[in-house]
Chains A and B, each alone.
Chain A
Amino acid sequence: MTFAAASLKQLRAALDSRQVSAVELAEHFLNRAEAAHDLNTFLHIDRGLTLAEARAADARIASGDVGALTGIPVAHKDIFVTQGWRSTAGSNMLANYVSPFDATVVEKLKSAGMVSLGKLNCDEFAMGSSNENSAFGPVKNPWDKSKIPGGSSGGSAAAVAAGLTPASTGTDTGGSLRQPASMCGITAIKPTYGTVSRYGMIAFASSLDQGGPMAKSAEDCAILLDAMAGFDERDSTSVDVSTTSRKGLVTAPNLAAFVEQHARNASTGGVFQGIRIGIPKEFFAAGLSADVAQHVNLAIAEFEKQGAAIIELSLPRTQLSIPAYYVIAPAEASSNLSRFDGVRYGHRAVEYNNLGDMIAKSRSEGFGAEVKRRILVGAYVLSHGYYDAYYLQAQKVRRLIALDFQDAFTKCDFIMGPVAPTTAWKMGEKSADPVAMYLEDIFTLGVSLAGLPGMSVPCGFAGDMPVGLQIIGNYFDEGRMLATAHQYQCITDWHKRTPEVSP
């Protein structure tokens, strides 16, 4: 076993047995990250800051104050604000911005003893599906450096796949955790909206944004989500699960224990005995590439072979998720990004004639093309006379999409299908056609609009490129989702395959 390929439990054991110290582990991964700089995954590394955290973790380990994650490195998508490391959101607007506080997610993982390796590249303000929209250059897919890693959490996915960090944080607004995980061959979960605090996550679309873990396996994701999730009084949309009656559902911080226990108790007549899996026909319609379809179908067949019941069903408004999402998300973004006016922080134009000119020039210079496109779309759909036809209509569609899912969950426990219609494409291939890029999000947008939890689990390779299986659960059913994904990973090894990265 190499540390780069090790699971979180293996790293825990290595640290606890003093086979390695937190400082050594941090240096190991920092060295790998620096050696693999051509992937452009990291935007900011600061050895001093990382090693200080590692030394603190070693002190905790020495004193016996140890949790599941103490001393284990992690790296954060540059959407989470951090004290010390720059927080750029992949934008020139915030190229030199350093936050005076840590995001709740960062704070929680830090207090769990995780050691931050730094900040990971992403699409500007998390807007994109290929990581080509970063102001600091695209991230390369470690499986094929001529290809995109997916987005917007492309740096987070590529860094885990290349073994530059054991785990990373990401955010998902319309598929930004699941799609890059799928394209880089790693595991990620977007929890139910409200599970992970959005405080300190630089907002893209507030009603959709949700943070989550990216790692090598479902088991690792469960351990991470246990530490990341929880009610936060600083986020009004954060859910206090303890005060909500959700019968029989296992939620953080009991996910990892449940996953482990569930695996021990697995039925002998097939590990997926009693599980009903819904297969929406709209997820296998025209547009889905044949090789992706083949591997997703093989994965579903594996579930069936191990006792799961396969139920064909319909999510009839799947097509509508694209226009609904590309109205709602830009609308919220146009407002969320108004604070970047060059007045208090961030980029300010050097020359301007008056106040209005200063704001307009600062924003024109600071934002990239895709961000500007979405701000324009968003401002348009919210403007007087268009609001009802676009924004209000999209909200109605959103509700219907959520109802479709609830209807489906009366027939099944999980919904499965592809994460993305294709594997990772060549860099630049779709850059000229934003709409073609938007269409790539068709299988992930509905889950985001409905606020449901969704996962991507490696399920095969089309040629050299990984394919992800999407597992969608009902609200707050992350425990069973992760347990099921873990059992799938107990009988498959797709998640264990790693690309060759020249160190």
Chain B
Amino acid sequence: MNGVPAGWEVVIGLETHAQLSTASKIFSGSKTTYGAAPNTQANAVDMALPGTLPVLNRGAVEAAIQFGLAIGATIAPRSVFARKNYFYPDLPKGYQISQFELPVVVGGTIPIVVDGVEKPVQLTRAHLEEDAGKSLHEGLDSMGVSGIDLNRAGTPLLEIVTEPVMRSAQEAVAYAKALHGIVTWIGICDGNMQEGSFRCDANVSVRRAGDPKLGTRCEIKNVNSFRFLERAIEFEIRRQIELIEDGGRVVQETRLYDADRDETRSMRSKEDSMDYRYFPDPDLLPLVISAAQIEAIKATMPELQKATETRFMHEYKLSEYDAHVLTQSKALANYFEACVNEGGQPKRVANWIAGPLSALLNGDDELSIKNIHVAPAQLAQILIAREKELISQKGALELFEVIFLAEDESARNSSVEALIKERGLEQISDSAAIEKIIDEVLAANQKSVGEFKSGKEKAFQSLVGQVMKASTGKANPAQVNALLTAKLS
């Protein structure tokens, strides 16, 4: 079962840091844009200059409330920011402002499905905290110095902690993906794992099946993709089981995953673990959230993923599969609905998104539904033209690609009607016109006609091809087939 050796049980809990998509930092007015030149997005507060004080970003609190509502958690009416004290050069204040005893979100559940079986993953808590800066060593070694970039310092994070309820790497990944889906769906996190906007740490332990006592756990850090998360946990499970089977003991420690070697290795042991001397931050008042505030945020929440999926099935008569595919992201679902609102037939739109659109998106990682150039109205017009047999399937694909790949604004903004004319993609559905072409082709290909009449079925396809070629691909293929059959019979 799920790659766990018989006789063993695996226990996994996940801690996820979701970077909140607020315009400014959690305790200062600096911007949070990724990738800016070092220290250009760090102000006096972020640099912890003497005399500076933190002021809580309302947007970060609202994001935490939205998350709590999305997973059916309790929003704490009163939560407290605490200082986690430790020295590190990229931690400017010498402490991180986090939440300790009283977090803002308590409990909640995220359902996952593995091998067709649904299972609820219970959450312990989610709390707000600030990110640290970055220490830079690459390229500076030769100068004998390290660099500190404080752009990231103070970026708002929601740390989301599960109960130790997952039993395999597959379950852990299913949970991480489901969580990723939720935070991106409600728009509180961009979910970019490469840029570190969504980071998972896994607490992994193993025990003999039936043993009520939990094994000693190791925390795995530095996992920046779902695939690596799965591989890191699988490696760790194997390592721990082999260790115990060889008569050894698992030591509680933090381990880093090395993707190049596909292994985890020790970073620091429990013995080195620091006493963070947590205490309530006296610079910040307790965070008090009223029921009215929660209700107000509830009213602005988007429809959640599951609800949208169900609605798509009922409202647009889509299959569960189609509805599921279309609700893989909020942006995708929005695109689908916009196309339908522009007159696209739902099933055709769904098929187009699952087919040609996905094929084009998969070709390039940089593209996403958020920035594709084909406006919903354009796709709807293409599908309507196709439905009316004004264009062929090939013509529809060509149109879509032309707009999709257009470099300049004018091409992107052209009307579909104009593009059909401009590119000569009108389909010929006039029987008389098609008959005329057929007659010409038959006259010029008497040899093939003879072969067909003598029983060679292949000759028919050759004649269809000749007709399509003579019409420069514009003739309606169904009509060509029907008319040709009639002529030859």
Contacts and interface: CB of A to CB of B under 8 A. Distances in A.
Contact of A338 (B47, B54, B89, B93): B93
Contacts of A332: 282
A331 B280 CA distance: 11
A474 to B, nearest CB: 21
Contact of A383 (B277, B282, B283): B277
B285 A237 contact: yes
A351 to B, nearest CB: 14
Contact of B51 (A103, A344, A356): A103
A206 B89 contact: no
Give the most central of A207, A236, A391: most B CB within 10 Å. A236
Contacts of A235: 53, 55
Contacts of B146: 355
A343 interface: yes
Contact of B279 (A99, A201, A331): A331
A343 B132 CA distance: 14
B55 A335 contact: no
A384 interface: yes
Contacts of A205: 282
A87 B148 contact: no
Contacts of B87: 338, 341, 356, 359
B92 interface: yes
Interface string A217-255: 000000000000000011111000000000000000000
B357 to A, nearest CB: 47
Nearest to A199: B53
Interface in A300-348: 331-332, 334-335, 337-341, 343-345
A339 B285 contact: no
B285 A355 contact: no
B149 to A, nearest CB: 12
Contacts of B56: 236
Contacts of A200: 51-52
A424 B148 CA distance: 47
Nearest to A356: B87
Given A198-B53, A201-B51, A235-B53, A206 B283 contact: yes
Nearest to B84: A335
Contacts of B49: 81, 99-101, 344-345
B26 to A, nearest CB: 13
A99 B89 contact: no
B50 interface: yes
Interface in B397-428: none
A461 to B, nearest CB: 37
Interface string B41-62: 0001001111111111000000
A406 B261 CA distance: 66
Contact of A97 (B50, B55, B83, B279): B50
A97 B44 CA distance: 14
Interface string B95-109: 100000000000000
A288 to B, nearest CB: 31
Contacts of B283: 203, 206, 236-237
A369 to B, nearest CB: 20
B111 interface: no
A236 B275 contact: no
Contacts, number: 101
Contacts of A340: 94
A325 to B, nearest CB: 14
Contacts of A94: 50
B466 interface: no
A384 B95 contact: no
Contacts of A66: none
Chain B contact residues (Cβ within 8 angstroms of A): what range? 20 to 34
Contacts of B275: 383-384
B51 A236 contact: no
B282 to A, nearest CB: 4
A89 interface: yes
B148 A338 contact: no
Contact of A236 (B47, B85, B284): B284
A324 B411 CA distance: 74
B92 A339 contact: yes
A340 B49 CA distance: 9
Contacts of A409: none
B92 A199 contact: no
Contacts of B95: 335, 338
A207 B282 contact: yes
Interface string B353-397: 000000000000000000000000000000000000000000000
Contacts of B53: 198-199, 234-236
B55 A236 contact: yes
Given A202-B50, A234-B53, A391 B279 contact: yes
A387 interface: yes
A344 B48 contact: yes
Nearest to B146: A355
Contact of B85 (A80, A355, A382): A382
A335 B54 CA distance: 14
Contacts of B85: 334-335, 338, 382
A275 interface: no
Give the most central of B51, B52, B89, B285: most A CB within 10 Å. B51
A77 B277 CA distance: 31
Contacts of B277: 334-335, 379, 382-384, 387
A97 B49 CA distance: 10
A81 B50 contact: yes
A205 B283 CA distance: 10
B276 to A, nearest CB: 8
A391 to B, nearest CB: 6
Contacts of A100: 44, 49
Given A338-B85, A339-B92, A384-B275, A344 B47 contact: yes
Given A338-B93, A341-B87, A359-B87, A202 B51 contact: yes
Nearest to B148: A343
Contacts of B282: 205-207, 237, 332
A359 B87 CA distance: 8
Contacts of B54: 236
Given A100-B44, A356-B87, A339 B50 contact: yes
A99 B48 CA distance: 12
A132 B93 CA distance: 28
Contacts of A236: 53-56, 283-285
B89 A87 contact: no
Contacts of A341: 87, 89, 94
Interface string A353-390: 00110010000000000000000000100111001000
Contacts of A206: 282-283
A332 B279 CA distance: 9
A235 B51 CA distance: 10
27 contacts: A81-B49, A81-B51, A94-B50, A99-B49, A199-B53, A202-B51, A203-B51, A206-B282, A206-B283, A236-B53, A236-B54, A236-B283, A237-B282, A332-B282, A335-B95, A335-B277, A335-B279, A337-B94, A338-B87, A339-B50, A341-B94, A343-B148, A355-B89, A355-B146, A359-B87, A359-B89, A384-B277
Given A199-B51, A335-B279, A384-B277, 11 more contacts: A99-B49, A101-B44, A199-B52, A203-B50, A334-B277, A339-B48, A339-B94, A356-B87, A382-B277, A382-B279, A383-B275
